[in-house]
Amino acid sequence: KQEVTQIPAALSVPEGENLVLNCSFTDSAIYNLQWFRQDPGKGLTSLLLIQSSQREQTSGRLNASLDKSSGRSTLYIAASQPGDSATYLCAVMNTGFQKLVFGTGTRLLVSP
C-alpha cells in the first residue's frame, strides 16, 4: 500500500528566503507525482506534475524534482512571498491506477 509522507509538517520563514519542501513515498512504481497548493476555502490548485520518466519540472519560482528510485520528491520555492503562504500537498498516482494518494502536507507561512 502506497504511503506518502511530507517533511516538515509546518514551516515559517521570512519573505525572500528560498525553501525546500520534501515528499517521500514507499512504492516507487508510480505513474506521476503532483504538487498541490491548498488555500482555506478554495480547494486544491495543481502546481506541478512530474511524469515518472522525468527528473524535474519548473513553473516560475517553483521547481519540483523527482527521484523515483529513492522514493523522493522536493518542491523548491525561490524568493518566497507572503502570498505563498498555504498548505502544500504532494500526491502520487500509482502505475495502473487513476487514483491519487496524498501526503500529509506542509503548512507554510511566509511573513513580511
Partner 1 sequence: SAVISQKPSRDICQRGTSLTIQCQVDSQVTMMFWYRQQPGQSLTLIATANQGSEATYESGFVIDKFPISRPNLTFSTLTVSNMSPEDSSIYLCSGKDANQETQYFGPGTRLLVL
Footprint of partner 1 on this chain (CB under 8 A)?
32, 34, 36, 41-46, 49, 51, 89, 91, 98-105
CA–CA separation, 65 vs 83, rounded Å?
22
Nearer to partner 1 among residue 15 and residue 71 (C-beta): 71
CA–CA separation, 102 vs 104, rounded Å?
7
Nearer to partner 1 among residue 51 and residue 70 (C-beta): 51
Q: Least distance (Å) from partner 1 to the CB of residue 33?
A: 10
Q: Between the CA of residue 93 and those of 1, 10, 72, 82, what are the distances in Å?
A: 12, 24, 14, 30
Q: Least distance (Å) from partner 1 to the CB of residue 16?
A: 29
